[in-house]
Amino acid sequence: MATIAGPQPIARQRGGSRLRSAAAQLDWPLLLAVVAILVFSVYIVDLATAEDIPGDPDFFVARRLLHIGIGAVAFLALYALNPDRVARWAWVLLGALLGALTVVFLIGTVNRGSTRWIEVGPLNVQPSEAGKLILVFVLAAVIAERAHLIGTVSLSVLALIITAVPALIIFLEPDLGTAMVYFAILAGILLVAGAPWHHFAVAGVVAALAVLIVVVVLPNTGVSVLQPYQVDRLTAFVDSERDPSDSSYQLEQSKTAIGSGGALGKGPEGATQTINDFLPEHHNDFIFAVVSEMFGFVGGGGLILLFGIVVWRAMRIASNAASRFDQLIVAGIVSMLVFQVFVNIGMTVGIMPITGIPLPFMSSGGSHTIASMAAVGVLMRIHARGRREP
């Protein structure tokens, strides 16, 4: 017995050393901030949806926990994945994304006039959400591989085409919000890569002309590009008091909920806009309004502070990245998160149009939650690479 007992303390020491080493490679402020937002989201969804399904008060919170559990697996999988290996398959990944988006039109589930989801058992999978992270990898790989072309029109146009093709398919689903996120990812990556400002200026002018044509010119000729509900959302944003659509109702209820919360909020029992179901999508797109009604400016401000920590740590990871490729990946993820947070909170207070963009880590969307947690796994991997390979 004595001959085999000796190595056991050494094995335990090695195992403990590996655990300490793995723990030291994590960005703990980032991880704790994300976990805090996720835990808070479960709490808010539980409070906001307890009366939504008669006889099943835990329906939405149970699904929320399921999505977070799958997201944790995605986090670990992406943390263990070497980004360089993904870069080798960039064009294959882009082709897979386009194929998945096309399949949505063939066998996808129609919900509220949009075809965005594919039913996989008890889950509705939205390929466009995973596509955000795929696009980040593809753009980062393509631009890093062509570093000698940075600043040229040809590289910027290539990156634009790579983004525009899947974004156009998503727009036709129709899903204007997610399509906008794709272009936000492109802008962030090109900015960090060093694309000249006049490229952004030209792109801005082209985008403005495209909006003018789609919203004003074509409708006057009898050609409708946007869906009626999308037009309603834009109309409500421009003049909510004169617009009678459902989108105007959503905006007014959201502003009422946020305004009535005051500094400290009305508490879960006093949140009448949420409890009485006046506030639509209170567990999803308008969850920030629920937070503000229940916990006021302090609650909403605290949530924004947590998002600020996430962005701050991600930017630190970018500054210490081991390669330009890693840096561009972080730039794409940061652009994705910042744009979604700004637009979602902005639409609840009326400074942005309602586009259906969820709030990262907070809204109940399953595919969105899983993709966001997977993105954090990528950030952690790049953080570890930066510590090992300065």
pLDDT in tens, 132-161: 999 999 999 999 999 999 999 999 999 999
- Residues 6+ away with beta carbon under 8 Å from 126: 116, 117, 118, 365, 366, 367, 368
Average pLDDT over residues 88-93: 94
- Asked if residue 51 is part of any domain, the answer here is yes
- Domain residues for the domain of 291 are 28-195+227-388
Domain count, the chain: 1
Q: Please state the pTM of the whole predicted model.
A: 0.89
Domain assignment present for residue 216? The answer is no
Distance separating alpha carbons of residues 330 and 137, to the nearest angstrom: 10
Find all residues with CB under 8 Å of 161, minimum gap 6, and list them: none
Cα separation, 33 vs 173, in Å, equals 33
Query: What pLDDT was estimated at residue 51?
Result: 84
Residue 207 has pLDDT above 80, yes or no: yes
Q: What is the mean pLDDT of residues 284-312?
A: 95
The number of angstroms, rounded, from the C-alpha of 39 to the middle of its chain's C-alpha atoms is 17
Tell me which of 40-44, 68-72, 164-168, 245-249 is least confident.
245-249
Sequence-ordered list of residues with C-beta below 8 angstroms from that of 297, at least 6 positions apart, any chain:
261, 262, 263, 264
Amino acid identity of residue 178, one-letter, is T
pLDDT in tens, 37-67: 999 999 999 999 988 888 888 999 999 999 9
Q: What pLDDT, on a 0 to 100 scale, did the predictor assign at position 2?
A: 44
The whole-number pLDDT of residue 178 equals 92
5 lies in some domain: no
pLDDT in tens, 155-180: 999 999 999 999 999 988 878 889 99
Map tokens 């795929």 to a residue: 134
What ranges in 81-227 are assigned the alpha helix state H? Answer: 83-88, 90-107, 127-145, 153-171, 176-193, 197-212, 218-220
Is residue 200 in some structural domain? no
Q: Per-residue pLDDT averaged across 225-238, rounded?
A: 64
* Mean pLDDT to the nearest integer, 272-294: 89
Write the CA distances from 268 to 46, 238, 255, 293, integer angstroms: 10, 32, 18, 8
Alpha carbons 274 and 288: distance in angstroms, whole number: 11
pLDDT at 235 over 70: no
| Chain segment 329-388, per-residue pLDDT in tens | 999 999 999 999 999 999 998 888 888 899 999 998 889 999 999 999 999 999 998 877
* Amino acid 121: pLDDT: 66
Which of the four pLDDT bands, split at 50, 70 and 90, describes residue 191? very high
209 inside domain: no
> 283 in a domain, yes or no?
yes
Closest C-alpha among 130, 157, 131, 132 to residue 142: 157
SS3 116: strand
**Does 100 map to a domain?**
yes
Is residue 214 domain-resident?
no
The pLDDT score that the predictor gives to residue 377 is 96
Q: Which amino acid does the sequence have at 101? A: L
Distance CA 350, CA 248 (A): 10
Q: Which residue has the higher pLDDT, 8 or 311?
A: 311
Two tokens at 377? 């796994």
